[in-house]
Chains A and B, each alone.
Chain A
Amino acid sequence: MRLRVKFPLFLTFILLLIICGFASPYFFTEQNVWVLLRQTTIIGIISLGMTFVIIAAGIDLSVGSTVALVSVVSVSCQIYGLPAMILAGLFVGVLVGLVNGLAVTFGRVVPFIATLATMTIAKGLALWYTNENVIFGTNDQFSKIGNGCLALGYNINIPYPVIIFIIIFIFSWLLLEKTVFGKYVRAIGGNTESARRSGVNIFFWTVIAYLYCSFLTSISGIIVSARMNTGSPSIGDGYELDAIASVVIGGTSLFGGKGKLSGTLIGILLFAVIANIMNLLNWPSFIQYTIKGVVLLAAMVFQRFSYSK
């Protein structure tokens, strides 16, 4: 049954690529492919982390604000050098995830509400930290993380964010499929009571799931800050919805228990391609919103019918 859902999704994606190729002559150019892939990575990395949380029957609305917080904290440390910037950013982001995890387990707060609260808290902290200003970036090495490429010879240059995304994808896949973390996350989402009776430490593994999501979000925050070479507290609005939409389109159920990273990947690429082609075709913004919403709705309805057979 998994194949039955993923296969049409995959086909739709290929079909979309073909249509885009005809719609704009720039779509399949080398430059656009790299641009597209690089634009995918920001939401993409977040979506990979979000997949774990959603499989565990939770949700994380705070990712957008975490990106903003990581952005300002990491760039503000630029006088201490690149490693300090990265560590500070990761630390702050993971802290948000810890708060999320503890609130949901020990605090027994419903994930939607808990992460809604951290979303506004993180945003407020980011704005307070910079007094609502942006922080100009002066560290060129930092900027390279977001804007640089790895030269592989033969004139192929892979942007660093894309490489980071690939590494994270492989790592996440291993986690989900080959470790007890992945298995327990699926067990907790599938039937929490049953997992508890079998001896799975529900609290511990739930917190780890939220930690992993915020860890990936921090990485994404660092990449986006590097791209702008600026610490900005006003970025990140709406990222959580894009991430959740990508995960859900890929076949992961919001009720938890099942989901595959390959599905999330297709979801991410789907949205990125849609945004990209609309930019290339110069379509106004309201069409973008509408189409994203229609795609999400259609995918959900289709999934519902596939599963109810």
Chain B
Amino acid sequence: MRFAFSCIIVLLIVLVSNYCFSAGQPFVQSNDKKVTIGVVLPPPDHPWLAENAKYAQKAASMLGGKCRLILLNSAKDSATQINEVESLLTKKVDGIVLFAIEGSPLTPICKKIKRAGIPLASVSRIINSNDYTIKVEGDNKLIGRMAAEYIGKKLRSGKVALITGVPGASDSLDRINGFKNEIKNYPNIELVASLPGHFVIEKGMSAMENILTAHPEVKAVYALSDAMALGADMAIKSRGLTNKIFIIGSDGNKEMFKRIKNDKSSCVATITYPPSMTGDAVLFIYLAIQGKGIPGTFDPLIPVSYKVRSTLITKDDIDKYQHLAF
């Protein structure tokens, strides 16, 4: 008898916890209206951006039949991306998630979105005005700071170099500024070079080669993305300096994880930058469309800011975070 009763309790707990903790449930209810959400992203040349697109689709499928997703990511420059946003307006979508190529150029069109009363999420590269319903971003300044802190503590004194991303992108700039501000706290560390790697592996490699030529005594490198870190690693390897320099990346790339675990590589740490932020944005916009308000706000009309956390991962705790690697 007691056994049966405890089984029922366990069953109930399982059922209730399923109801409470399964991802889609708090969002979707049966009397929600069917909606269409438009998502505009930069082209998936970079794997991190491709992951963002995948998460957006994951979010939509979690919302089940209530949400139809339109994904536009072929615009090569800001001017063309504006066209994509406009086509969403033409189709009278119910909500828009915008990951701008550059925040500033997309600002005027967002005014139109606001005037049309369509909820808008501005992701990562935030527009200049307040015309969004919610902004979703990583904490790029924090990422930069974390990297600087790690290098400061590990190296203590010596020369360090930066491999930056796309010039002018706000996420790049925030990370650089965060890094530079924190590294000031370590007076024995000198930042000797900063070259752009455009977030791609081959440019990361050539940037590293140039840095090594000009500053052969560099001891640590912070590459703003894992792809560039991998390229830098190859450059260091080809010069035979593998254990003399260490590299930190950002993003949480699978290959980067592999190399951090591997002793034969210069990569020692990375900082997560969850590509799920676009997925989160989709979920929030869904709520906004349904008039339910975004968790953490009082009124759905008040713009909010949602920051996605980042974590520094080194060889010691890497296995814990393996599932986050993409």
Contact = CB atoms under 8 A, between A and B. Distances in A.
A–B contact via C-beta, under 8 angstroms: yes
Interface stretch (A27-35, A170-178, A248-256): A27-35
Most chain A CB neighbours (cut-off 10 Å) among B71, B82, B104, B128:
B104
Interface string A1-43: 0000000000000000000000000100101100100010010
B76 interface: yes
A279 interface: yes
B198 to A, nearest CB: 11
Contacts of B167: 127, 131-133
A280 interface: yes
B168 A284 contact: no
B84 A279 contact: yes
Interface stretch (B86-94, B273-281, B315-323): B86-94
B128 A235 contact: no
Contact of B107 (A32, A42, A132, A230): A230
Contact of B91 (A133, A238, A275, A280): A280
A192 interface: no
A133 to B, nearest CB: 4
Contacts of B109: 147, 227
A229 B86 contact: no
Interface string B75-109: 01111001110110111100000000010111111
B146 to A, nearest CB: 24
Contacts of A285: 43, 73-74
B169 to A, nearest CB: 9
B70 A237 contact: no
Most chain B CB neighbours (cut-off 10 Å) among A234, A276, A284:
A234
B74 A228 contact: no
A282 interface: yes
A224 interface: yes
Contacts of A236: 77, 79
Contacts of A35: 83, 86-87, 89-90
Nearest to A64: B77
A282 B73 CA distance: 10
B74 A288 contact: yes
Interface string B105-119: 111110010000000
B168 A136 contact: no
B245 interface: no
B87 A232 contact: no
A233 B196 CA distance: 16
A293 to B, nearest CB: 14
Contacts of B91: 26, 280
Nearest to A135: B104
A32 B90 contact: yes
A147 B110 CA distance: 12
A137 interface: yes
A285 B106 CA distance: 20
Given A280-B87, A285-B43, A227 B79 contact: yes
Contacts of A246: none
B72 interface: yes
B77 A235 contact: yes
Interface in A251-292: 275-276, 279-280, 282, 284-285, 288
Contacts of B70: 282
Contacts of A235: 77-79, 105
Contacts of B168: 130, 132-134, 232-234
A32 B83 CA distance: 11
A143 interface: yes
B79 A136 contact: no
Nearest to A229: B108
Nearest to A25: B91
Contacts of B72: 279, 282
Given A230-B105, A230-B107, A224 B79 contact: yes
A227 B87 contact: no
Contacts of B87: 32, 35, 276, 279-280
B90 A234 contact: no
A280 B74 CA distance: 13
A146 interface: yes
A235 B247 CA distance: 32
Contacts of B84: 279
Contacts of A147: 108-109, 112
A227 B76 contact: no
B310 to A, nearest CB: 24
A26 B43 CA distance: 24
A282 B102 contact: no
B105 A229 contact: yes
Contact of B108 (A32, A146, A234, A282): A146
Interface of B: 43, 70-74, 76-79, 82-84, 86-87, 89-92, 102, 104-109, 112, 128, 167-168, 173, 196
21 contacts: A26-B90, A29-B90, A130-B168, A132-B168, A134-B102, A134-B105, A136-B128, A227-B79, A227-B82, A227-B109, A228-B78, A229-B108, A230-B104, A230-B105, A232-B168, A236-B77, A237-B77, A276-B87, A279-B83, A280-B91, A282-B70
Interface of A: 26, 29, 31-32, 35, 39, 42, 127, 130-137, 143, 146-147, 224, 227-230, 232-238, 275-276, 279-280, 282, 284-285, 288
Q: Closest 4 A-B residue pairs measured CB to CB? A: A285-B74, A132-B167, A228-B105, A279-B87
Given A31-B90, A229-B104, A235-B105, 19 more contacts: A31-B89, A35-B86, A35-B89, A132-B167, A134-B104, A134-B168, A228-B78, A229-B108, A230-B104, A232-B78, A232-B102, A232-B168, A234-B168, A235-B78, A279-B84, A282-B71, A284-B74, A285-B74, A288-B74
